């Protein structure tokens, strides 16, 4: 039923293999803009340059399409984060900084739309919510908690509640992603996620680091952030 004929002519094949990804990209964009229910498959199809019917060659239903969009989205990023942590030997605050900056890069890609999507549809897709909670939320939280624990053990950080501090760690970036896909259109400028990230890290440094006895002398080497325009 396959492979028999000359059906493997290069162009068609390439097309067929590219289609799912094209559709997923289009779907992510549409879902991000309007949410699951308000997205019409006709729009997704148009955006992907095909017709409605074609979608059903690759995905059994709107719901399946949605799940596919979410499933294959952020998991790889999490894995990359885990790899970074596993290899790193730098100071814990630097590691956190790297993780956040790495993550901030996603903030300008289409993937940044996923959190908003999940947030919205968790109620309508409990199964998907569970999947995402397990494979993305918990794993990424575990990642940060591991670093925090390491920092405490090494004496870099004060004793702290890993879970709550993790939430404080990720909140600004996460919120920035949500912002980009909701209010940014109505705000004046563009949110500079990277700047936000640096500001956040600066706040963290002076809060997290044991750095109690910062005497004036050593202070300068740490305040590298833009906060202090004039010094």
80: Cβ–Cβ under 8 A, 6 or more apart, which residues? 102
Tokens standing for 135? 């494979």
Tell me, residue by residue from 180 to 219, as one string, x for binding to a copy of itself by CB under 8 A and - for no binding. Answer: -xxx-xxx---x---xx--xx-xxxxxxxxxxxxxxx-xx
Whole-number Å distance between alpha carbons of 118 and 135: 13
Site for a copy of itself in 146-175 (CB under 8 A): 151, 155-161, 164-165, 167-168, 170-172, 174-175
Tokens standing for 88? 């790193």
Give, as one character, the DSSP assignment of residue 191. -
Candidates 67-75, 81-89, 99-107, 128-136; binding stretch for a copy of itself (CB under 8 A): 128-136
Residue 160 binding DNA, by CB under 7 A: no
Site for DNA in 166-225 (CB under 7 A): none
Taking CA atoms, 222 is separated from 1, 97, 98, 114, 202, in Å, by 67, 14, 16, 35, 9
Residue 14 binding DNA, by CB under 7 A: no
Residues that bind DNA (CB under 7 A): 1-2, 4-7, 9, 11-12, 15-16, 19, 38-42, 50-54, 56-57, 60-63
């Amino acid at each position: 039923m396959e492979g028999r004929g000359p059906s493997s002519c290069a162009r068609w094949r390439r097309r067929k293999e590219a289609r799912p990804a094209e559709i997923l990209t289009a779907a992510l964009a549409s879902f991000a803009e309007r949410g699951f229910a308000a997205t019409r498959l006709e729009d997704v199809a148009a955006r992907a340059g095909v017709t409605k019917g074609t979608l059903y060659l690759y995905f059994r239903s709107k719901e399946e399409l949605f799940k596919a969009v979410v499933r294959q989205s952020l998991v790889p990023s999490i894995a990359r984060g885990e790899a970074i942590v596993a290899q790193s030997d730098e100071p814990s605050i630097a590691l956190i900084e790297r993780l956040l900056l790495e993550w901030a890069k996603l903030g300008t890609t289409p993937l940044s739309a996923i959190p908003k999507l999940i947030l919205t549809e968790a109620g309508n897709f409990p199964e998907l919510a569970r999947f995402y909670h397990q494979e993305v939320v918990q794993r990424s939280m575990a990642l940060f908690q591991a670093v925090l624990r390491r920092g405490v053990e090494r004496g870099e950080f004060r004793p702290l509640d890993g879970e709550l501090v993790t939430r404080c760690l990720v909140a600004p970036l996460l919120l920035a992603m949500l912002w980009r896909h909701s209010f940014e259109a109505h705000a004046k400028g563009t949110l500079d996620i990277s700047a936000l990230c640096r500001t956040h890290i600066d706040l963290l440094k002076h809060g997290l680091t044991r750095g109690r006895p910062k005497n004036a002398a050593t202070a300068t080497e740490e305040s590298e952030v833009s906060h202090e325009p004039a010094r």
